[in-house]
């Protein structure tokens, strides 16, 4: 290879990596933190508390259906996308007002969960958990729209990596942090502390600026300006879906939606039983916090940042296939750990390394893919549609995970969850044969909203 070629290749790699220096990314990291915190607390961390309270595996599996709220958020995303919150909207703007409202609901729900003993009554735990999930899902709608609106499609992979950094840092806090507090203080103290950590999201909401967006026909219809409900439904609810199908054609659009539905099926199904599996293997909460959460966080970040660069270098479709294959294979590694027979920390660290690296790689690649599918006029609604589909099938099937483990054991369950990754790989290959450009028209924003400068 000539020196000129080597310089050219090195220059391209440096240019790809330099995208992380963009000033747009600061707010995304903090908003990612605010988004990741509540999800873990109604998903994996809650499953540890329930297992310690002697709740059965099938019931723990059914509790994972709280996350189905994230799958149906598409039904209220048009309201979030096109309606301004009364009073707050005037002060903060549309995106920021919805963010603050959603974060307040999350905080209230976490405080409610902290005040209940699941061993005494599960219904109030489920009710407050549902409250947390509703606020969290609404926050996700707004954060996803903000992320897409502050950058054009070429930067979405890197922005997704930084968003995932914040998200995964929150998962570390809500996972390892909550487990440490529960181990050495109590579970109520853990959830109260997590409610306090949501203050970071509130502060970020107050500091960021409203993003620029294309408001072709949608933003003009404020509640007081509606001529009829039909007009609003047509413009805010129907138009985003019509635009997506018109842009891609019905056949290709359905293939894309099918891929979105099954892409995370493997890891979502496995994730429901991960923490109960660690406990049943004999690992303590402190060990789970140290190895699975803290060490796993580093591997996830490595996978996410490597993914952000590789997507820019090799393209989304190639990396979608590679990442889907890696996630499915790591579930087989879990099957191997289930046969180990004793709680060996070295074996756990190896499994966590493979799982979290592949998970970070898959997340950043898939988020970039979904972001590129949205049209700037309908960012919140279209992305909510995609992310709802992404979690719907996995959430439903994951709810039966406890029944499968109880009936067939962990080894069979992990093999089964690995096989669930095959449909995604097939669909990526099928879509790769289409030469049609799936990317929406997402020009660079007019300004670069970020954290406010101090006065």
- CATH number of residue 370's parent domain: 1.20.1250.20
Hey, is 208 helix, strand or coil? strand
- 295-323: pLDDT as tens digits: 887 888 888 888 878 877 777 778 888 88
Q: How many domains does the chain divide into?
A: 1
Is residue 9 in a domain? no
Per-residue pLDDT, 373: 78
Is residue 292 in a domain? yes
The predicted model gives 60-81 an average pLDDT of 81
Length of the chain: 455
Task: Please state, for a pLDDT cut of 70, what percent of the chain lies above it.
Answer: 80
DSSP structure string for 55-117: --HHHHHHHGGGGGGGGSGGGTHHHHHH-PPTTHHHHH-HHHHHHHHHHHHHHHHHHHHHT--
Is residue 440 in a domain? no
The predicted model gives 7-27 an average pLDDT of 57
Higher pLDDT, 114 or 63: 114
CB atoms within 10 A of CB 11: 10
Is residue 442 in a domain? no
Is residue 182 in a domain? yes
The DSSP call for residue 451 is: B
Per-residue pLDDT, 451: 36
Q: Look at residue 277 and tell me whether its pLDDT is greater than 70.
A: yes
Per-residue confidence at 449, pLDDT binned at 50, 70, 90?
A: very low
Full residue range of the structural domain in which residue 283 is found:
21-209+228-432
169, 33 contact by CB (below 8 A): yes
Is residue 272 in a domain? yes
Is residue 439 in a domain? no
Is residue 399 in a domain? yes
428, 317 contact by CB (below 8 A): yes
Per-residue confidence at 237, pLDDT binned at 50, 70, 90?
A: low
Phi, psi (5° rounding) for residue 208?
Answer: -75, 160
The predicted model gives 85-89 an average pLDDT of 84
């Amino acid at each position: 290879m000539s020196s000129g070629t080597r310089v050219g290749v090195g220059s391209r790699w440096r240019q790809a990596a330099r995208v992380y220096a963009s000033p747009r990314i600061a707010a995304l990291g903090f908003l990612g933190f605010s988004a990741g915190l509540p999800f873990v607390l109604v998903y994996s961390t809650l499953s540890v508390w329930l297992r310690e309270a002697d709740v059965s595996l099938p019931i723990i599996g059914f509790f994972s259906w709280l996350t189905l709220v994230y799958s149906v958020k598409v039904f209220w995303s048009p309201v979030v996308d096109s309606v301004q919150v009364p009073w707050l909207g005037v002060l903060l703007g549309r995106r920021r007002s919805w963010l603050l409202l959603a974060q307040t609901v999350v905080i209230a729900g976490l405080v409610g969960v902290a005040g209940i003993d699941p061993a005494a009554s599960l219904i109030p735990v489920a009710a407050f958990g549902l409250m947390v999930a509703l606020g969290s899902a609404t926050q996700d709608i707004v954060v996803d729209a903000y992320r897409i609106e502050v950058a054009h499609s070429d930067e979405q992979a890197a922005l997704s990596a930084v968003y995932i950094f914040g998200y995964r840092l929150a998962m570390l806090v809500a996972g390892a942090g909550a487990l440490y507090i529960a181990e050495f203080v109590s579970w109520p103290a853990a959830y109260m502390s997590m409610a306090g950590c949501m203050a970071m999201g509130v502060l970020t909401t107050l500091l960021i600026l409203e993003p620029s967006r294309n408001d072709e026909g949608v933003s003009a219809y404020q509640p007081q300006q509606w001529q009829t409900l039909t007009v609003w439904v047509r413009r805010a609810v129907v138009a985003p879906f019509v635009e997506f199908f018109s842009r891609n054609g019905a056949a290709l659009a359905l293939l894309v939606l099918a891929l979105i539905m099954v892409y995370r099926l493997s890891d979502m199904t496995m994730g429901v039983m991960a923490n109960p599996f660690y406990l049943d293997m004999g690992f303590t909460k402190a060990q789970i916090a140290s190895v699975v959460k803290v060490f796993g966080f580093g591997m996830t970040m490595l996978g996410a940042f490597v993914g952000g660069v590789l997507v820019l270098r090799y393209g989304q479709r190639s990396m979608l296939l590679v990442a889907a294959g890696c996630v499915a294979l790591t579930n087989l590694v879990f099957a191997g750990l289930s046969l180990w027979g004793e709680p060996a920390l070295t074996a756990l660290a190896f499994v966590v390394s493979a799982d979290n690296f592949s998970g970070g790689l898959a997340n950043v690649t898939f988020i970039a893919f979904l972001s590129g599918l949205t049209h700037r006029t309908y960012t919140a609604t279209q992305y909510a549609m995609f992310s709802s589909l992404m979690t719907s099938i996995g959430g439903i099937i994951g709810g039966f995970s406890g029944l499968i483990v109880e009936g067939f054991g962990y080894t069979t369950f992990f093999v089964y969850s690995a096989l669930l990754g095959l449909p995604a790989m097939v669909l990526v290959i099928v879509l790769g044969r289409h030469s049609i450009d799936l990317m929406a028209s997402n020009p660079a924003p007019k300004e670069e909203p970020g954290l406010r400068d101090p006065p």
